[in-house]
Structure 1
Amino acid sequence: MGERLPEKVRTLADAPTYVTLATLQSDGSPRLTVLWIERDGDDLLLSTVRGRAKERDIDRDPRVALMFLDQHDPYSYVEIRGTATLTEEGGRDLIDRLAVKYTGEPYKWDGPDAIRVVIRISPTRVLTTG
């Protein structure tokens, strides 16, 4: 069973807050990517395109971490550690919802052959400061 998200995290995830995703590269070193996020209960959803480095990292090792930085208080942040799963189901719908949330319009930057993947993170540890 995953960890429940505190109200502070739910509020940040429901707002257009940018997050930094940490994945592990094949040599064990971390890779950081800034992404848009959506919440599904206590799980967190992100989007990528099939074949990108973060998708390959997660496919090889599903351990991830996320950092939310509160834009109104830079000394207040949240770190979430968890396990990620990947699915193509709902991938296009998710990126369109995220784009509307963050930019006000549907996503329009993918090429015609892009296959959207949903990254679902189930938290195993939530750390908050501030």
Structure 2
Amino acid sequence: MIGTEAQDQFIGRSVIALLATVRAAGTPSTSMISFARRGDELFFSTSLDRWKGRSLVRDPRCALTVLNPHEPWSFVTVEGEVVIHADNPADLRQLILDTTDHPDYAWAREAIAPVLEAPGRAMFQLTPTRVSGVVMP
């Protein structure tokens, strides 16, 4: 379980989040991502040459603030460090595809798959060390 029961269930209902990383100068940077979950681990993908990828290679600490458009005043922030799977394993790409194949989002699996397979892509695995947030009833 990630956080409280309410936080864990909220994460399970969601597929979008804001990823916060630390720039080399020490300032924060955020970007919108989609994520997937397997057990108590969260996964996302980006290119190693993008700002967030480079930031996480340098400093694996991050925070993922999970959002849900159907619950606009609720959020859960998961802090921790990432493990980078630079080999971009097929099982983790499939996990992302299965999770983001969601009726609330207009993107098509056929459009996302080539992005996940592009050269330089990696999978990032976040192990929670601190969880906070508010899940409104």
Q: TM-score under structure 1 normalisation?
A: 0.80
| Equivalent residues in 2 for 1:2-81, closer than 5 Å | 4-81=2-79
What letter is aligned with 1:118?
A: M
User: Cα deviations across residues 8-63 of structure 1 (Å, max 9, x unaligned)?
Assistant: 44444444521000000000111111111011211110001121111111111111
Off by >6 Å, runs of 4+ in structure 1: none
* Correspondence for 1:118: 123
Gaps of 5+ in 2: 101-106
Q: CA deviation at 1:96?
A: 4.9
Gaps of 5+ in 1: none
In 1, the alpha carbon distance for the partners of 2:2 and 2:95 equals: 23
Q: TM-score under structure 2 normalisation?
A: 0.76
In 1, the alpha carbon distance for the partners of 2:14 and 2:108 equals: 11
Q: CA deviation at 1:95?
A: 3.9
After TM superposition, the structure 1 stretch with the greater mean CA deviation from structure 2, 69-78 or 12-21, is 12-21
Q: How much is the aligned-residue C-alpha RMSD, in angstroms? A: 2.5
After TM superposition, the structure 1 stretch with the greater mean CA deviation from structure 2, 93-102 or 25-34, is 93-102
* Correspondence for 2:109: 105
In 1, the alpha carbon distance for the partners of 2:71 and 2:118 equals: 40
What letter is aligned with 1:124?
A: T
